[in-house]
Amino acid sequence: MRVPVEKLEPGMKVGYPVLGEDGSVLLNQGVILNPTYIRRLRELGFKSIFVETDLFQDVKIDEPIKLDTRQRVQKIFHDTVKRLQRGDMTSYREVSRVLENILEEILAHEKSIVYLVQMRSCSDSIFTHSVNVAVLSLLLGKYLDLSLLQLRKLGLGALLHDLGKIRFPEGFLKEKESLDEEEKRIIRMHPIWSKEIIQSHTDYDFLVSLIALQHHERLDGSGYPYGLLEPDIHFLARICACSDVYDALTVDRPYRKRFSYAEALEYLMGNVGKLFDLQVVTTMVRHIAPYPVGEVVRLTTGEVGVVVRLNEGLPIRPVVRVIQDREGNTLERPKDIDLMRELTVAILCLAEENVEDFYSPHGVPTLGESEFID
C-alpha cells in the first residue's frame, strides 16, 4: 500500500523498489526502514512509497513494463541528458534501442487496464517524467492502433519532449509557486529548444522533433510556443500532450500535492475539445486505472480500504480491501469488496485527501499558475 513519507515509521518494510533519477535502486523491496532511511527520503523530496504489510501479501504491483527495463532506459536517458549538458552531441541510437525493449513489452502486455507506479522525488522530474510520458504515450498508441513505425516515432518524441529544459538556468524554478513574465517566457521556449537539440543530430527524425515542439500546444490555440489551433497540431503530439499533463499532475510538487489518478483523468475529460483531443482522452479513460493497486481510498460508505485488484473492462470499479470502518476503527478481519458487484458502493476519493480541495464548483479539477511549471 502507498504510505506518505511523513507517516512512515521505523520497522516498516519497503514494498516496491525506490529508484533514483538515474534508475539506480535507492531502497530495494524488502528493506526494513530505519530513521536514517526515512529522513533521507524526506531530504530527497519523496512524498510517498509503497510498504508491505501482512494484510496485503497477496497484492502485486503489475506495471506494463518490467522494473529492470525501466531502470535501463532511465539510466541511458539520464546519461544522454548529462552528456548533452556537457556539450557532447551524442547520438540517440542507444536511446532508440532501449525504447525498442519498452515497445516490445508494451505490445506483449495483455491487460487492457494499466497504471504506472508514481513514486519519485521532486528533483528528478525530467528523468522519470520523460520515461513515464514515453511509456504512457506508447500504451495509448497501442490502444489507438498506431503502426509500428508511428509507435517508434511517438516513443522517441515523448522521451525527448522536455530536452529543452537542460537550457534552463541552474536552479531555475526551484520550489517556485508563482512566475514572473521572464520566467514564463523562458518556460515557453523549452519546446523550441527541445526541437533544436533533436535536430542538431544528423540522424534526427523530423516527426520526433515535431512531437517535442508541439507537446504544449492546445486545440483552442491557448498553448505554446506558437498558439497553434487543432488542425495544425499533429496527432502524435496530441498523444504526448495528454501523457505529459497526466504524469505531471499525478506526482507531488513542492508547490502542490499530487492529483489522484482519477482527478487527473477528470481534468483531461473536463478539457476535451478545448485543450485535449477527444479520441486520446477517451482512450485514456478506458485503459488507465483511475485507482491503481496500492492506493488507499475512501468509499461512499465512509469505510477506508486499499485497491488490491483491477477489474478488466471497468477500471473505475476495482476490488477494494476494507481496513477501517466508517468510524475510523481498524477492522480485525479486513474484507474485500468487488465494486463490479457491489454497485451501491463506489470510491469517493483518496483516503488522506478531502475531495473538495481539488474540484471547482463544476466538478472539474482546477489548475493555477503552477500548470506552467510542469
Q: Please give the order of strands across the beta sheet that includes 2-4.
A: 2-4, 48-52, 13-14
pLDDT the model gives residue 117: 80
pLDDT the model gives residue 198: 92
pLDDT the model gives residue 315: 87
Q: Which CATH superfamily is domain 67-290 in?
A: Hypothetical protein af1432 (1.10.3210.10)
Name, in order, each residue with C-beta under 8 angstroms of 275's C-beta and a sequence gap of 6 or more.
218, 219, 220, 222, 223
pLDDT the model gives residue 366: 57
Name, in order, each residue with C-beta under 8 angstroms of 165's C-beta and a sequence gap of 6 or more.
126, 190, 193, 194
3-state secondary structure of 38: helix
In tens digits, what is the pLDDT along the chain, a chain of 374 residues?
Answer: 888 898 999 999 999 999 988 889 999 999 999 999 999 999 888 888 999 988 888 888 888 999 999 899 989 998 888 888 877 766 677 888 889 999 999 999 988 899 888 767 766 578 889 999 999 999 999 999 999 999 999 999 999 999 999 998 877 766 666 778 888 899 999 999 999 999 988 778 999 999 999 999 999 999 999 999 999 999 999 999 999 999 999 887 766 777 888 999 999 999 999 999 999 999 999 999 999 999 999 999 999 999 999 998 888 999 999 999 999 899 989 999 999 999 999 999 888 643 333 333 344 455 554 454 46
pLDDT the model gives residue 4: 87
Q: Which CATH architecture has domain 2-56?
A: Alpha-Beta Complex (3.90)
Name, in order, each residue with C-beta under 8 angstroms of 283's C-beta and a sequence gap of 6 or more.
140, 143, 144
Boundaries of every domain in the chain: 2-56, 67-290, 296-358
- Are the C-beta atoms of 276 and 282 separated by less than 8 Å? no
Task: Enter the pTM of the model.
Answer: 0.89
DSSP state of 365: B
Q: What is the distance between the alpha carbons of residues 29 and 321, in angstroms, rounded to a whole number?
A: 22
Buried b (16+ CB within 10 A) or exposed e, 247-270: bbbbbbbeebebbbbbbbbbbbbb
pLDDT the model gives residue 313: 81
pLDDT the model gives residue 354: 37
pLDDT the model gives residue 352: 63
Does 67-290 match 2-56 at the fold level? no
List the one residue out of 262, 259, 351, 362 whose CA is nearest residue 301.
351
pLDDT the model gives residue 362: 40
Residue recorded with cell 488490491: 308
Residue recorded with cell 518494510: 13
pLDDT the model gives residue 46: 87
